[in-house]
Amino acid sequence: MGFGGIISAIVVGAIIGALGRLVVRGKQNISILVTIIIGIVAALIGTWLAQIIGVEVTDGIDWIEILLQVVVAALFVVVYTNWAGKRR
């Protein structure tokens, strides 16, 4: 992965992570770095799930893949906020 790939992973991770946080109700005490990390991991897992069900490449925008990525990000946000809340 080159420099451009790393930058695009960070940008996509920030977007997917932010969308995941928007889906979850309430306030989350999560830093932007954790949001980006959650987004990157969720994007990778969402793409993997899309490949498994055969919708990773479609004509136009891959809405199902994006939906899977956002749902995974939202789940990770919930898990992280619950885990971080118990640590305090």
Q: Output the pLDDT for position 60.
A: 83
What are the phi and psi torsion angles at 35 (to 5°)?
A: -60, -45
pTM of the model as a whole: 0.86
Q: Count the domains in the chain.
A: 1
Go through 38-56 and write b for each residue having 16 or more CB atoms within 10 A of its CB, e for each that does not: bbbbbbbbbbebbeeeeeb
**In the prediction, which pLDDT does 18 show?**
92
By residue range, what is the domain housing residue 47?
A: 3-87
| Per-residue model confidence (pLDDT) at position 26 | 85
pLDDT value for 88: 63
What is residue 29's predicted lDDT score, i.e. its pLDDT? Answer: 86
Per-position pLDDT tens, the chain of length 88: 577 777 888 889 899 999 999 999 888 888 999 999 999 999 999 988 988 998 877 788 888 888 999 999 999 999 999 898 777 6
